[in-house]
Amino acid sequence: AEGRRQTQGMTMRLPRVIAACWLVVAATGARVFAQAAQGEFVPVVPGASKEAIPAAPLVFVAYAFVWVALVAYVVLLWRRLGKVERELTDLNGRLKSTRRS
């Protein structure tokens, strides 16, 4: 019963950890796209400026998100596999005790 409570507590914390990681990634991405303020008027020269989004921060954020999601998925699978193994061990114990009686 205590192990089940610990598992439920960990299961409740996992979405919070994922949400916190997502907020950190989103805040980093928002900071990358913030522009510095201009101090004076700058006239527009036709053809001199073009809009561009830097690719490096977007790639970094995308890879970070994928790695965080992958690690969370592996941890979730690892915990579920441990639970199944415990249940199988318990079931084998029960089967052995019923065969003896």
Identify which has the larger pLDDT, 3 or 70: 70
Task: Output b/e per residue, 42-72; b: 16+ Cβ within 10 A.
Answer: eeeeeeeeeeeeeeeeeeeeeeeeeebeeee
What is the pLDDT averaged over residues 33-56?
73
Is the per-residue pLDDT at 82 higher than 90?
A: yes
Is the per-residue pLDDT at 80 higher than 90?
A: yes
- Give the separation between CA 86 and CA 83, rounded to whole angstroms: 5
Q: One-letter amino acid identity for 22?
A: W
What pTM was computed for the model?
A: 0.46
For residue 9, name the pLDDT band (cuts at 50, 70, 90): low
For residue 7, name the pLDDT band (cuts at 50, 70, 90): low
